[in-house]
Structure 1
Amino acid sequence: MEFYLTALLQGFSFSALALGIFISMKIFNIPDITTDGSYTLGAVVTAVMITHHQPAYLILPAVIVAGGLAGALTGIIHTKLKINALLAGILVMTALYSVNLTLMGTSNLPLNNFPTLFNLVQISADPNHNTFWVVSAFVIVLIALIGYLLKTDFGIAMRATGNSESMIRSLGVNTDRMKITGLALANALTAVSGYLISQYQGFTDISMGIGIVIVGLGSVIIAETLINWFRITSVWLSLILVLTGAVIFRLVLSLTLDLGVDANLLQLVTAGFVLLIVSLPRLRLRTR
């Protein structure tokens, strides 16, 4: 049971990443590869500040700002220099590898002997249960904030920019600024996911972000499939399903390991699972 609780906690921690991918890919239709670098950046900033005994109330804002700056840089390169969004993300992600390595000064930073979010707040005597309640409260607040933002006039303008850029531009909205802000928000959320995961697993590694975009993409595709099946139009329910997608994704991978599949094949299983959930809706349409 503890094995699946771990998967659930990881799913909750990855929900911020899934929300970031949801904003960049589903709202703005931008395939943002900055994710791999900004996820690690969030973990690196967290680890460096914790090991330098910085107060907990400063760490999360620093992570959000760092991730936001990475996303904004991608947005500026894409909108102002007119470089393809995919290439802009790859360039920033590549640069962030050096930035992350320079900030850490080493390829790995352990956090086992330092206070983290999950042991500073004591809700339950059991460590796993305590982590569950802390991360659950964190994710609920996060979804509430993003849901509120997307329902405001600014959030509606963001969504309209992705749906019909020419139309919203004719109404006087600066679409370049919207894209920069949207990518900054998406990568800030991705960095928050790195903030949670680094503290949960007790270390930060320079390579922890490699391929992480597939986790967020898989979570969003699961959510999109459920949204289409149930014909959901509510922003709040869509965000909840993104969280559900992240949890389902981690539970499926945990089930795979529990069935005895070699851990070395986990990335292959991940790729296969994402391919399956991408293909299912198209296969159903073709059958009809």
Structure 2
Amino acid sequence: MGLYLTALLQGLCFAGIAFGIYISMKIFNIPDITTDGSYTLGGVVTGVMLTSHQPGWFIMLAVIGAGAAAGALTGIIHTKLKINALLAGILVMTALYSVNLTILGRSNMPLLNLPTLFSALNILTDPNQNSLIILAVFVAALTLIIGYLLKTDFGIAMRATGSSEQMIRALGVNTDRMKIIGLAIANALTALSGYLIAQFQGFADISMGIGVVIIGLGSVIIAETIINWLRITSVWLSLVLVLAGAAIFQWVLAFTLDIGVNPNMLKVATSVFVLIIVGLPRLTSRNA
């Protein structure tokens, strides 16, 4: 049971990535690979500032600002230099590896015995249950903020930019600015996941972001499959399903380990699982 509780905690930590991918890919239709770099950026900024004994609120603001800057840079390269969004993300992700290594100063930084978000409140004696309460409150607040943003006029303009760029441009909306801000928000959320995971696992690592985009993508695909099956149009319910998708994704990986699959094959299992999620609805509709 402890394995599945840990998976749930990791799923809540990865909620930021899931929301970030949801904004970049489902709202703006932009395949943003910056995710791998901005996730690590959030982790290394957290690690360096924790070891410098900076206040928790200041660390969170710094992580959000760093992630937003990375996303905005991708947006500027894509919109102003007219470079393909995928290539723009790859360029920024590649550059962020050197930036992250420079910030961290080494390949790995332990964060044990340092005050973290999870040790700020001791509501329950069990560390995992205590972390669950803290994460649940944190992610609930994050979900409410994103949901409120997407329901505002600005959020509607963001969603319209992804749905019909020419129409919203004809109404006087600067779509380039919308894309830049949207990618900044998406990567700020991704960096928040790095902020949470670094504190949860007790270390920051320069390679922690490799392949992490598949986690967010898998979470969003799970949510999208359910949304399409149930024909859901509510923004709030969609965000809840994206959050649930992040937890389900981690539970599936936990189940894979629980049944005895070699941990070295976990990435293969992850890829197969995402492939099944993507392919099954299409195969089902084709047979129908």
Q: TM-score range by the shorter chain?
A: over 0.9
Cα deviations by residue, 1:54-83 (Å, 9 ceiling, x for unpaired): 111101010000000000000000000000
| Equivalent residue letter for 2:21 | I
Residues 224-252 of structure 1: CA distance to partner in whole angstroms, max 9, x if unpaired? 00000111000000000000000000000
- The residue that corresponds to 1:183 in the other structure is 183
Q: TM-score, normalised by structure 2?
A: 1.00
Q: CA deviation at 1:126?
A: 1.1
TM-score (norm 1): 1.00
1:201 partner amino acid: Q
**Corresponding position of 1:132:** 132
Give the corresponding residue for 2:99.
99
Q: Which residue of 1 aligns with 2:169?
A: 169
Q: What is the CA distance between 1:120 and its match in structure 2?
A: 1.2
SS in 2 for 1:252: helix
- Does the residue aligned with 1:44 lie in a helix, a strand or coil? helix
| Counterpart Cα distance in 1 of 2:107 and 2:114 | 18
Aligned residues with identical type, % of pairs: 72
Structure 1: distance between partners of 2:129 and 2:253: 21
Per the alignment, residue 108 of structure 2 pairs with 108
1:73-108 CA-to-partner distances (Å, cap 9, x unmatched) read 000000000000000000000000000000010000
* Superposed CA offset, 1:171-205 (max 9, x none): 00000000000000000000000000110000011
Q: What do residues 143-180 of structure 1 show as CA deviations (whole Å, max 9, x unaligned)? A: 00000000000000000000000000000000000000
Q: What is the letter of the counterpart of residue 78 of structure 2?
A: H
SS in 2 for 1:109: strand
Q: Unpaired segments of 5 or more residues in structure 1?
A: none
C-alpha distance in 2 between matches for 1:86 and 1:145: 28
Q: Could you say what the CA RMSD is over the residues aligned between the two structures, in angstroms?
A: 0.4
**Alpha-carbon distance in structure 2 between the residues aligned to 1:226 and 1:154:** 27
Q: Distance in 2 between matches of 1:249 and 1:123?
A: 28
Q: Deviation digits for residues 108-166 of structure 1, max 9, x if unmatched?
A: 00001211100112221111110000000000000000000000000000000000000
List runs of 5+ in structure 2 lacking aligned partners: none
SS at match of 2:161: helix
User: What are the within-5 Å matches in structure 2 for residues 197-212 of structure 1?
Assistant: 197-212=197-212
Aligned to 1:287: 287
The DSSP-based 3-state class of the residue aligned with 2:173 is coil
Aligned pairs, number: 288
Give the corresponding residue for 2:87. Answer: 87
Alpha-carbon distance in 2 for matches of 1:219, 1:229: 16
- In the alignment, which residue of structure 1 is the partner of 2:24? 24
Summarize the alignment of residues 248-259 of structure 1 with structure 2, pairs less than 5 Å apart. 248-259=248-259
Task: Give the distance between the partners of 2:197 and 2:17, measured in 1 at CA.
Answer: 11
Letter in 2 for 1:43: G
Q: Could you say which residue in structure 1 is the equivalent of 2:152?
A: 152
| Structure 1 residue ranges, 4+ long, deviating more than 6 angstroms after superposition | none
Partner of 2:242: 242
2-side partners of 1:200 and 1:121: how far apart? 14
Distance 2:124 2:155 in 1: 37
Residue 52 of structure 1 corresponds to which residue in structure 2?
52
What SS does the aligned partner of 1:204 have?
strand
Take 2:87 and 2:70, find their aligned partners in 1: how far apart are those partners? 14
